[in-house]
Chain A
Amino acid sequence: DVKVTQSSRYLVKRTGEKVFLECVQDMDHENMFWYRQDPGLGLRLIYFSYDVKMKEKGDIPEGYSVSREKKERFSLILESASTNQTSMYLCASSGMHQGFTGELFFGEGSRLTVL
């Protein structure tokens, strides 16, 4: 079974702190994604990556950056956390052969609270 593992389920950080959210997938998938999920707003795409060292902005990239140094790992970075970044963050992956099936494999999420 495909497994997408997010390193932290719950984090509490202070305004201005640098935050790293890590995601690892074990199925050799080319595509990886970071979404945030908020009540009333649904899932919104922050950044995605089609290959190592490649990244593309999603719909809400402001305040975030990403890193993909290895195929299996995709990191989301909040350079200076703010309270409006309090949210559930979801990582997902898919393989090239799944490019048109819509099947994303999600991790269990990282709930970030910024105080």
Chain B
Amino acid sequence: EDQVTQSPEALRLQEGESSSLNCSYTVSGLRGLFWYRQDPGKGPEFLFTLYSAGEEKEKERLKATLTKKESFLHITAPKPEDSATYLCAVQAAETSGSRLTFGEGTQLTVNP
């Protein structure tokens, strides 16, 4: 059974204070690992896809990295508008289509 575990559950940062979110996964053959952002009262919004260990993707203050067992979402000099819940998801190699398994998310709060 595919499993995704995110830590911490919640993270509170001061503006400008860099940190990382963790996503550990267990999957029988990884097809892809995905990061989403979810604002309160909204549906998740796609951020990144990572396919293989060593791969990195960047978008503004966010950088996602991938190893064989986990992924990190690094947030550099965050701003209050980065406050959201960040979701990690995986797709196993044997699944068809776009079926994903999600983690529970990390709720990030950035204080001004």
Contacts and interface: CB of A to CB of B under 8 A. Distances in A.
Decide if A and B are genuine partners. Answer: yes
Contacts of A44: 102
B98 A104 contact: yes
A42 B87 contact: yes
Contact of B100 (A40, A50, A90, A102): A102
Interface string B33-53: 110000001111110010000
A45 interface: yes
Interface residues of A, number: 28
Contacts, number: 67
Contacts of A48: 97, 99
A81 interface: no
B7 to A, nearest CB: 13
A106 B45 contact: yes
Contact of B32 (A35, A40, A102, A108): A102
Given A33-B98, A90-B44, A99-B97, 18 more contacts: A42-B4, A43-B44, A48-B97, A50-B96, A94-B97, A94-B98, A98-B98, A100-B31, A100-B32, A100-B91, A101-B32, A102-B46, A102-B98, A102-B100, A104-B44, A104-B100, A108-B42, A109-B42
